[in-house]
Amino acid sequence: MLGAIAGDIIGSLYEFSPIKTTEFPLFQSSCHVTDDTVLTVALADTILSGGEYVDNLHEYFRLYPNAGYGGTFYRWARHGNREPYNSWGNGSAMRVSPVGFAYDTLPDVLEQAKRSAEVTHSHAEGIKGAQAIAASVFLARKGSSKDEIRDYVRKTFGYGLYVPLDLIRPDYQFDVSCQGSVPVAIMAFLESDSYEDAVRKAISVGGDADTLACMAGAIAHAFHGVPEAIATRTMDFLDERLAAVTLEFCHEYDCF
């Protein structure tokens, strides 16, 4: 979870100013929390409290109404809707990492990822994207190799995961679909040799940078761990509420 939040904050400057390099300052004063972090914490809070995902998505929207939500989610939350809007966007996948850390069997992870997604993202691709990220986090924290994670995601979700980032990067553009972003984020993790490398690679493709780094960072956290310096700097960007829930979740599920 903390790795997802760090990726979001690091990538926040490049969401609408894409870059095609891994060489950039990791944290800058103008980095900031986006909706990726807010909704990730909302799911973590739901898991801790035993409430309903939809209730905390609404609650955290009310608490953080200017976090940069997508237009459809913004309208859904502002009106207090409880019915999903059939989205295939990557909002379901960017917020799901707490599920991968909290549950102890793969069937439970897949079921909870589906539940967390379908309150908004009831489209099959929106659910699949969330399940792919949550399952990758789970497998990584349980000690699966990168080849095992790649094979599972390919067979279960149909994502190819065979085109290297160096071939994806030149023509890749901003893409908020699960289909167009989740496999890229997973590839950034698969090609990484550290947590930091995964985040840098995700941002370097030049797309929806904060969300790509959030998703790749979640899996890299489970596999590589988050360096203490990055974890400490990340917490500096969180307000009291976001920090408290993050710390409680990480203590509860041993995911520092």
Distance, in Å, from the CA atom of 189 to the CA atom of 202, rounded to the nearest integer, reads 8
| Domain positions in the chain | 2-15+31-252
Planar angle of CA 193, 197, 201, nearest 5 degrees: 120
pLDDT tens, 96-117? Answer: 999 999 999 999 999 999 999 9
Q: What are the residues whose beta carbons fall under 8 Å from the beta carbon of 88, sequence distance 6 or more?
A: 121, 123, 124, 125, 126, 129, 177, 178, 179
Task: Report the mean per-residue pLDDT for the chain.
Answer: 97
pLDDT tens, 115-159? Answer: 999 999 999 999 999 999 999 999 999 999 999 999 999 999 999
Give the per-residue pLDDT at 212. Answer: 98
Query: How many other CB atoms are found less than 10 A from the CB of residue 152?
Result: 17
pLDDT tens, 37-76? Answer: 999 999 999 999 999 999 999 999 999 999 999 999 999 9
Distance, in Å, from the CA atom of 242 to the CA atom of 10, rounded to the nearest integer, reads 17
Per the CATH hierarchy, to which homologous superfamily does domain 2-15+31-252 belong? ADP-ribosylation/Crystallin J1 (1.10.4080.10)
Give the per-residue pLDDT at 201. Answer: 98
Exposed e or buried b for every residue in 155-164, given b needs 16+ CB within 10 A?
eebebebeee
pLDDT tens, 206-229? Answer: 999 999 999 999 999 999 999 999
CA distance to 95, 130, 237, 238, per residue, from 245 (Å): 14, 21, 14, 10
256 band by pLDDT with thresholds 50, 70 and 90: confident
Q: Compute the average pLDDT of residues 11-24.
A: 95
Tokens of 75: 């309208």
pLDDT tens, 23-37? Answer: 999 999 999 999 999
Tokens of 221: 């956290």
The secondary structure of 2-71, three-state, reads: HHHHHHHHHHHHHCCCCCCCCCCCCCCCCCCCCHHHHHHHHHHHHHHHCCCHHHHHHHHHHHCCCCCCCH
- Say whether pLDDT at 20 is over 80: yes
Give the per-residue pLDDT at 255. Answer: 87
